[in-house]
Amino acid sequence: MSSIANKNRPLAAADASEREYLDLLVRSDYERCHPNDTWEDLKRRSRFSKEDKGLLRDWIALAAQRATAKGSNKPDIGFNRAA
């Protein structure tokens, strides 16, 4: 099981490859929900804005839940589904 799924490990401690994986799990959904914004712009703004930091944290938490679901063969309940 991936270390991403370890609930006792803070998300900030994720290494670069884990962070990239988490980004991939939610990037397209974020950009679909915020059509005038990009995931990279949110990440950049989060360094300076408390509101954007909280928004990024929430999306990364969703990504961690998706990673956990994928690792445990539970259904992925995210937005990224084929219609």
Q: State both tokens at 35.
A: 């059509």
Burial of 21 (0-12, 13-18, 19+ CB in 10 A): middle
d(CA 64, CA 73): 14
- Higher-pLDDT residue of 83, 56: 56
Q: How confident is the model at residue 5 (pLDDT cuts 50, 70, 90)?
A: very low
What is the pTM for the complete model shown? 0.69
What digits encode the pLDDT tens for the residues 10-23? 555 567 888 889 99
- Higher-pLDDT residue of 55, 79: 55
Q: Which of 73, 78, 71 is nearest to 5 (CA)?
A: 71
Going from the C-alpha of 66 to that of each of 21, 34, 37, 44, 69, the distances in angstroms are: 11, 20, 22, 23, 5
What digits encode the pLDDT tens for the residues 35-75? 999 999 999 999 999 999 999 999 999 999 998 888 755 55
